[in-house]
Amino acid sequence: MTDEQRNAVLAESGRRTRRSFLVAGVAAAAGVGFYKWLDAEPEQGMQPGLLRRTYQTNASISRGISGEHVLTPTYPLSRAETLRVNGTYGLNMELAPESWRLQVVGVQGDVGRPGYVKDVTAWEYRYREATTKEDQGHDTKVDPNAKTAGKMAPAPMVDKAAEEEDDNHTGRKPRGMEQAGESDSTLAAGTPGLLLTMDDVVRFPRHELVTQFKCIEGWSQVVHWAGIRLADFLEAYPPAPIGGKEPKYVYMETPDGDYYTGYDLVSCRHPQSLLVTEMMGAPLTQFHGAPLRLHMPIKYGYKQIKRIGLISYTNDKPDDYWTKLGYDWYAGL
Ligand SMILES: Nc1nc2c(c(=O)[nH]1)N[C@H]1C(S)=C(S)[C@@H](COP(=O)(O)O)O[C@H]1N2
Ligand SMILES: [Mo]
């Protein structure tokens, strides 16, 4: 898009007329190109907000534009505040930081890449006594009016139970020890893939975002995030075609699979989907998902998995923790 075209779009959108919506819609239909010109704006604050409002106003009269192609509003840093801790499924045992690896499965040409192993599931994450005094946060609350009331019971403290249920005496933590149980998308033993370290992740350009974080329980907070774009990561580790075509989905898990989430590839490529390493100017804490979590402001909080241990491409719609408990798989805002 030329500067002239871009200015025209900006002017039109600013007027927020029906015509501006159409222009924005056409730009949105251009997909990645649309993101690129928005991204070229030094200040991301104003314009996406206008587009977002336009989109919301017109959503009912148009099906040609989807939330996945619109940037969510960004805010001045002064609006950002420390995010409460909410939901600690898969986080109750503290991960030994040196044992963290990112398992990546289904990558094109993975055999020849550094970090390739014949069985990613054989990687042993290790846990240790909690060293942090961090507030363990709020359990997901029960909304008595919700259809799913009763399903949002407090998170059980599973660490002791997990240790005791190690029937095979492998010394490894059993999977699926939280409320929703084991994921249907758990990898089979013997699944090859990559084991990446944090150095492999932070080599991509660093991005910061100040966005609104929305939990389905009805609260939201403006938060300052820093990390890398999931899109950049996925571009460097592209999916291997399945049946001659690009797979549709991305699946993520905490180490040992107690919390898990599924996404369509399009949402993962959204330029505001970040693999986050820092929040509010400091490294992620244990209960906010150290060392790596997802921020995906086009989705509700429950899709924003903390402590990522696995990223996997798949053509089967992946299982999702809160979908198992009755919530919408897409969780779009
Ligand atoms: N591993 C893990 N990730 C998770 C959750 C969880 O329980 N475990 N809860 C989700 C929900 S419902 C919300 S609202 C956010 C909360 O993130 P925060 O604790 O950093 O506020 O994390 C999401 N990611
Ligand atoms: Mo949430």
DSSP state of 40: H
Closest residue (by CA) to atom 16 of ligand 1?
86
Q: Is 171 exposed, middle or buried (0-12, 13-18, 19+ CB in 10 A)?
A: exposed
- Residue position matching structure tokens 């040992």: 256
Give nearest CA residue, ligand 1 atom 12: 302
Paired sense of beta strands 274-279 and 260-264, if any: unpaired
Residue by residue, DSSP assigns 121-151 as GG----EE---------BPPPP-TTSTTTTS
Half-sphere exposure of 324 (CA within 13 A, CB side): 18
Ligand 1, atom 9, lies closest to the CA of 87
Distance CA 10, CA 4 (A): 10
> Residue 133 has what pLDDT?
66
The segments of the chain whose pLDDT lies below 50 read: 1-2, 5, 7-33, 36-65, 139-159
Render pLDDT for 101-111 as a digit per residue (tens, 0 to 9).
Answer: 999 999 999 99
pLDDT digits (tens, 9 = 90+) for 258-274: 999 999 999 999 999 99
Element (H, E) at 11: helix 3-15
41 Cα to the center of ligand 2, angstroms: 31
d(CA 291, CA 237): 20
Report d(CA 294, CA 18) in Å as an integer. Answer: 35
pLDDT tens, 2-47?
A: 455 454 444 434 333 333 334 344 444 444 445 544 443 333 333 3
Pocket test for ligand 1, best of 86, 136, 288, 303 (most atoms within 8 A of CB): 86
Q: What are phi and psi of 272, to 5 degrees?
A: -100, 5
